[in-house]
Amino acid sequence: FRVTGSAHPILAMVGEDALLTCQLLPKRTTKHMEVRWYRSEPSSPVFLYREGDEVTEIQMEEYRGRVEWIEDGITEGSVALKIHSLRPSDHGQYWCHFKDGNYLAETSLLLQVASLGSDPYIHMDGSVESGLQLVCTAKGWFPEPQVSWKDIKGENLLAFSNYNFQDEDGSFYVESTLVVRDASTEAVSCFIHNPSLTEEKGSDISIPEKLRAEMASLKVIGPSQPILVRVGEDIQLTCSLAPRTDARSMEVRWVRSHRHPAVYVYTDGAHVAGEQMAEYWGRTALLSDAISEGRLTLQINDARTSDDGKYRCLFE
């Protein structure tokens, strides 16, 4: 005998139920057979049916109480497994395995789990690298979504950086940064696209005329050459506003690849310790003697090899 299943992926949404079916050919009763549904390891099944009963002792922990054996077509060799309350971790390949004495046969099915997450949220993140930095965030997406930016004419804009990570529930949080350097840009849009559902959500933000005027004049200036230090020495990262502008009422943030957590955050005249990356705890100091002129220096003590790389200075 042989086993057949769906030739196409089975698509279902997070939180919904999914029905996996397979068929024995030629059609015959499977009541006396062993039927095993598994992911990668047959020894740890999603579900095991043997001698007319469900065997739970070796069942995968994450499927206990979430799967239902449907045997309406069992006399015709058709079996089905319903998975309730789908999670992102349920996404992937499943095997339907029949055993009748010494005879074995199996087939695989692909379950695609998907989720449309939150609408993208765009906020302005201050001036950086001669432009205005915008950050687009969204959460609850699965599988890993694609992020794109467009201008008011629908033309694609190149993101400065993209940062995606999986939350504890398996869904994705995305953070995309765009630097707008053209002072004539009036509005931009951020779109989050789900590749499995071919659906997307978008949001837009208008750039106030005042900010566009400032963008045309106010710039953030940093060192023109790479900063070279030896391991164990102190690092000084200096950035300043041009033309000179009092930064005492601004938030100033030094970051690596993403905004949160940061290397150092200064706001309301103080260091915001709760937003600092753990590897910089107790190793940073802010030299702010010239803050009224828009110049600040972050000192990182006792340089490590892991400190090597690109840093960005953001004024907001």
DSSP string, 190-205: EEEEETTTTEEEEEEE
Q: Which fold has domain 2-114?
A: Immunoglobulin-like (2.60.40)
Which SS3 state, helix, strand or coil, does residue 44 take?
coil
What predicted TM-score, i.e. pTM, was given to this entire model?
A: 0.63
Residue 47 or residue 217, greater confidence: 47
CB-based contacts of 59, cutoff 8 Å, min separation 6: 44, 45, 46, 47, 48
| pLDDT value of position 128 | 59
| 238 or 127: which leads in pLDDT | 238
- φ and ψ of 89, to 5 deg: -70, -15
Kindly report the average pLDDT of the chain as a whole number: 90
Instruction: Please say if the pLDDT value at position 129 is more than 60.
Output: no
**Sequence-ordered list of residues with C-beta below 8 angstroms from that of 1, at least 6 positions apart, any chain:** 24, 25, 26, 28, 98, 100, 103, 105
* 211 vs 12: which has the higher pLDDT: 12
pLDDT at 282 > cutoff 80 = yes
For 220-237, write each residue's pLDDT tens digit: 888 888 999 999 999 999
- Cα–Cα nearest to 180, from 200, 205, 201: 205
Q: What does the pLDDT average to over 123-145? A: 85
Rounded to whole angstroms, what are the CA distances from 140 to 11, 119, 127, 146?
Answer: 17, 10, 29, 13
Fold for the domain defined by 218-315: Immunoglobulin-like (2.60.40)
Please tell me the class of the 121-215 domain: mainly beta
Show the CA angle centred on residue 84, arms to residues 172 and 80, nearest 5°: 120
For the residues of 9-20, what is the DSSP string, one character each? Answer: PEEEETTS-EEE
Please answer whether residues 20 and 75 qualify as being in contact, where contact means their C-beta atoms are separated by less than 8 angstroms: no
Which DSSP string do the residues of 74-133 spell out, in sequence order? GGGTEEEEEEPS--GGG-EEEEEEEEETTEEEEEEEEEEEEB--PPPEEEEEEEETTEEE
The pLDDT of residue 102: 85
On the question of pLDDT at 135 being above 90, the answer is: yes
Give the other-Cβ count within 10 Å of 89's Cβ.
12
Whether 280 has a pLDDT exceeding 60, the answer reads yes
% of the chain residues with pLDDT over 90: 59
- Establish whether domains 121-215 and 218-315 are of one fold: yes
CB 257 within 8 A of CB 161: yes
Does residue 207 surpass a pLDDT of 70?
yes
Alpha carbons 140 and 147: distance in angstroms, whole number:
14
Which sequence spans correspond to the domains of the chain?
Answer: 2-114, 121-215, 218-315
pLDDT in tens, 67-77: 998 888 888 88
Query: Is the pLDDT reported for residue 259 higher than 60?
Result: yes
